[in-house]
Structure 1
């Protein structure tokens, strides 16, 4: 399976995200991650979808089906253009006196941030590529990870041309 990142611009209306995700899942394609938020235009929402498919033909099917939805304005496969991709993760790690210094060192190595400290835990925040996020999770798994919240991929195309004009 290959992963593709699609930027989907849609009308900012209730239920549109449900229609988009429902259409993909009804066709038995796997959504690896999905995130949505408003854009520079308040009437437009941007949905970033990472979808796993077996072939480019299946990806074309996803794009064709999505483009039939009335609220879809534009679809761009950001995997095919030069783009900047990031994820955000927050990781709650058990951190007592015996291992807190080690965890702080790991956080510094990954250029992450500690955003909350409790008597027995810390919350680490990191923004970066999928491999960087996977890396810190792997290293911190040597300690007791209590909880993880991960956004999934978001991306922008490089250069002056926005997705809406591609």
Structure 2
């Protein structure tokens, strides 16, 4: 089962390494991790997607709280949340294929952010399943490069 957790940490050198090292030492896998500034100065927010059962999630939370720079751990999946990911997809696109590719881009409310003589660079934002779906549809045209950010998420509403 996939779990999305948010970890509020002190914005200090080495914190990302300590958090990711904890996962590695304990045998927990990180499917994706995003880190950036939080709403509070001096603190960063990590959003980590990991796999495991409920017991594994509880162990991850306990181990994270043992790290001195960890302020708060929140299981985002336990509440209604908004989760998004960004992908940049460079696809082979000769002039004859461009209208078809644009049809896919429009369907997914994605956008073309660069056009070369034989390629297009597509930007898509959404849930991971949406990103997976557009990638699958772009494969027949030939994906030259692909970059995904990983999931970032927040709890919905006033929580």
TM range (shorter): over 0.9
Query: How far is 1:101 from its partner?
Result: 1.1
1:103 match: 101
After TM superposition, give the deviation of residue 102 of structure 1 in Å. 0.7
Matches within 5 A, 1:53-68: 53=52, 55-68=53-66
Render the CA deviation track for 1:102-153: whole Å, top value 9, x for unaligned. Answer: 1111100111000011111010001101111111001001110011100111
Q: Which residue of 2 aligns with 1:7?
A: 6
Matches within 5 A, 1:16-165: 16-53=15-52, 55-161=53-159
Query: 1:15-60 deviations in whole A, cap 9, x for unaligned?
Result: 101100110111111100000000121200000000111x211111
Distance 1:138 1:151 in 2: 17
TM-score of the superposed pair, with normalisation by structure 2: 0.98
Gaps of 5+ in 1: 162-166
Structure-2 separation of matches of 1:24 and 1:79: 19
Which TM-score applies when normalising by structure 1? 0.94
Could you give the per-residue CA deviations for residues 55-95 of structure 1, whole angstroms, max 9, x where no partner exists?
A: 21111111100010000000000010111111110000010
Aligned residues: 159
Structure 1 Cα separation of the partners of residues 65 and 40 of structure 2: 20
Alignment RMSD, CA only? 0.7
* Distance in 1 (alpha carbons) for counterparts of 2:155 and 2:42: 21
Q: Secondary structure at the match of 1:139?
A: helix
Gaps of 5+ in 2: none
Q: Equivalents in 2 of 1:123, 1:110: separation in Å?
A: 14
